[in-house]
Amino acid sequence: MRKTTYYNARHVPPPVQEHWPKDCEELNTLILDAPGGVGRVIFGGGQHIRPQHFAMRPFEAIRTDHCHRILHLDRESALVTVEAGIRWGDLREKLREDGFSLCNYRPYPDAASLGGLLAKHSPGAPYWLSGDLREGCVSLSAVSPKIGAYRYLEAPRKACGPDLRHLFMGGEGQLGAILDVTISVQKPFPARLIIWEAPSASSAVACMRALSNSGLRATWCHWKRSAGKFHAVIHAPTRLLDAMVARVQAGLLALDSAPNLPAPTIQGDEEARDFRQELEWDMPEQRSRSAAPRTLAITYSLADLGAAIDGLRAVEDVEIMDFSSHGATAYIAFEDIAASRDFLTSESSELALHAHSIIEPLSSETPDIHWPKWSETLKNEFDPNRRLAMGPQ
């Protein structure tokens, strides 16, 4: 019953068998020694699996919950190496106990595994200083059924060999499994939470532009239509942070960049931490949310974001969590599933750079995905015997 509940909550059919490797060495063996026939799918938190990529085929599940060790913390270089099954929230707490922080990254689901966050499908490349986890991944090791072990070292760069990280990052487990990851961390800096009244997406974009044009770099930003507020979190050493806050309080943001922008409210470190924790417990991208079947993830350029979101109808709520100076991805919960499907085929979707459902419809009548030639070529190179169920068959 517990197994069925886990997969049902994520809208994934149950596997024919589960494997629970106790560490990355055993996970490595499960990939290399998988028998032919029934392919295997790797599950961390299970929130980003897209089952249409293995359709209705039987599969075995590899659950990485026990692959959660911190392998090394380099205090001088501020790098941590962990097994890829460690959960985001657990890593955050363990680093806090060791005097380090993940505050340089934007919020991610508390229960998601680090390997799953890196392997999930993302519509675009990471932007510099946008809080994207991919930007902080300096090395990783992985395994694929044919080529075996792969390791990209953090240094020296010329001794690393070919950089194949991005075949596994964003690869959704089609070519192999991420075993361990090295990411950059930092000493915890104090934070401030800046809150503007922003009833529309256009006003949220104005707040974002005001920050960018005034030279203040927010670590991450958030806007939710039902709340009507734009939140920006900044981290910095104390003296620099005080200067940044003074600039905001002096109204320079409004005067320089957005004349009609109201004065913001500024809250302290504890409020910023609590707000982040609330977001990470209930992220809009999670498949287990009740609104997930009618939620679309839609990426817009910043130039089109405001008008596109404000023009939407039959929408229950909109949440944006990954603003950058170039664009953002909006998680749009429609009033019903039909309205979300209609949007994907309507003229309103033309401004979107990318759009997909959090949960794709899946049934015995679901058509097979048309895989591009390059994807089939990669699958044949890395997994010719189809030991992994994800991807072209």
Helix (H) or strand (E) holding 220: strand 220-224
Among 178, 172, 179, which Cα is nearest to 390's? Answer: 172
Q: What is the CATH number of the domain that holds 135?
A: 3.30.465.10
In this structure, are 127 and 144 located in the same domain? yes
Structure-model confidence comparison of residues 66 and 370, the more confident one: 66
Structural domain contains residue 371: no
Residue 159 in this model has a pLDDT that exceeds 70: no
Structural domain contains residue 375: no
Residue 306 sits in which domain range? Answer: 292-357
Structural domain contains residue 376: no
Segment 10-28 shows an average pLDDT of: 92
In this structure, are 231 and 271 located in the same domain? yes
CA distances from 114 to 66, 145, 275, 386 (A): 13, 21, 21, 25
Q: Strand order in 191-197's β-sheet? A: 265-267, 191-197, 229-235, 220-224, 315-320, 327-334, 295-301, 354-357
In this structure, are 61 and 74 located in the same domain? no
**How many whole angstroms separate alpha carbon 321 and alpha carbon 297?**
11
In this structure, are 80 and 163 located in the same domain? yes
Among 206, 195, 194, 199, which Cα is nearest to 305's? Answer: 206
Residue 318 in this model has a pLDDT that exceeds 90: yes
In this structure, are 323 and 264 located in the same domain? no
251-297 confidence digits (pLDDT tens): 665 545 555 667 888 999 999 999 999 999 999 999 888 899 999 99
Q: From start to end of 29-121, where are the E strands? A: 39-43, 59-63, 70-74, 79-83
Residue 157 in this model has a pLDDT that exceeds 60: no
